Chains A and B, each alone.
Chain A
Amino acid sequence: MNLFRNVVFIAAIAGLVAGVVLACMQAYATVPLILKAEVYEQAGGGHSHDHAATAATDTTAMSTAAPAEAAAPAEDEGWAPADGFERFAFSVLANIITGIGFALILVAVSEFAGGIGNWRHGVFWGLAGFAVFTLAPGLGLPPELPAMPAADLTERQIWWWATVAATAAGLGLIAFRKSLPLAILAVALIVAPHIVGAPQPGSYETAIPEGLHHQFVVAVTVTNLVFWLVLGAVVGVVRGRFTGTATSLRDSFA
C-alpha cells in the first residue's frame, strides 16, 4: 500500500493548507452573509432552523470569536455548536476534513492521468476541480442562504452528485481522449444535467433580499475558485518534493 500511503500523505498536506485558507476566506466573505440571512429567517418565523434563535444577537461573532451565550438548540434539530467560537471551530474543522477529502479525489484521479507535476500543472487541475464541484452544480443549484426556498433535499443531493459525475466524465474525455465523437459525447455529458434540470422549489418566495443572495453567490464562487487553485498548486508542490521526478511530468498537460 505504498502508493496509497503516498496519496494520503500528499492529500493530507494539501487539504490542510487549502482548508485553512478556505476557512479564513469564508470567515470574511460568506459567513457574515449567512448570519445576516439568519436574521431574516428568524424574522420570517416559518422554517425552523438550528441557529436562528441566537443569530440576531450574534451577527459579529465570527470576526470577534466572542464566546456565545449558552447554546440554544432548536427544539427538534438535535445538537448544534454554540454560536461564536465553537461554531467557527467546527466550520474550520469541516473545511480541513473535506479539504483532505477533495484532495484525495484530486490526487487519485490525477495519478491515473500521470500525476500533477508542479504547481502550475496543479492550477489547471484545480480549475477542473472548480468546474466540476462548484461551477457545474452551481448553475442548477446556486448557493443558498438559510431561509431560501428549496426543493426536496435528497433530490437536490442526487442531482448534485449526478452533475458532478457527468461533468467530471465530460472534462476527462475532452482532456484525455483525442477523438471527435468522444468530445461530442463529452459536451453532451456536461450539458445533460442542465437539460434534465435541477429540482426546483414549489415557490420562490423568500424573505432574503435579492442583493444579499447575489453577494453570497459571488462570494461562494470566488472563495471556491481560490480554494481549488490553492489545493491544486499545493498538491503539485508537495508531490514534486515527494517524488523528485516532477520535471519529467512538467509538460504532460496542455
Chain B
Amino acid sequence: MTTASVSLGASVSSQSRFMQLALAAFLGIFVMGFVGFSHIDAVHNAAHDYRHSMAFPCH
C-alpha cells in the first residue's frame, strides 16, 4: 500500500496537512454526533425517522 501524498492542496506542509484533515474529520464527527446522537428533545424528534433508519441508538 503505497501512500501517495499530494493532490488536494499539494503545497501544504505535512503538519498543516495533518491539522487540516484532522479538523475536517472532527467537524464531520461533530455534525454526525449532533444530528444522530444529541439528547436534546427537539433535535431527536426532528431527526427521529432518520435515527431509526440509520440504526443509531434511539429513545
Contact = CB atoms under 8 A, between A and B. Distances in A.
Interface of B: 1-9, 11-12, 16-17, 20-25, 27-32, 35-37, 39, 41-42, 45-59
A111 B31 contact: no
7 contacts: A2-B12, A79-B45, A102-B32, A114-B5, A115-B8, A138-B55, A249-B7
Interface of A: 1-4, 6-8, 10-11, 26, 30-31, 34, 47, 49-51, 77-81, 87, 90-91, 93-95, 97-98, 100-109, 111-115, 134, 137-138, 141-146, 150, 153-154, 156-157, 160, 175-176, 178, 220-221, 223-224, 239, 242-243, 245, 248-249, 252-253
Contacts of B9: 2-4, 6
Contact of A90 (B22, B41, B46): B46
Contacts of A220: 52-55
A1 B22 CA distance: 12
- Main secondary structure on B side of the interface with A: helix
Contacts of A51: 45, 48
Contacts of A249: 4, 7
Contacts of A10: 8
A154 B49 CA distance: 19
Nearest to B32: A101
A1 B12 CA distance: 9
Contacts, number: 186
Given A80-B46, A108-B24, A176-B1, A141 B55 contact: yes
Question: What are the 10 closest A-B residue pairs judged by CB atoms, nearest first?
Answer: A104-B28, A3-B9, A101-B31, A78-B41, A80-B45, A101-B32, A156-B57, A143-B55, A108-B25, A94-B50
A26 B53 contact: yes
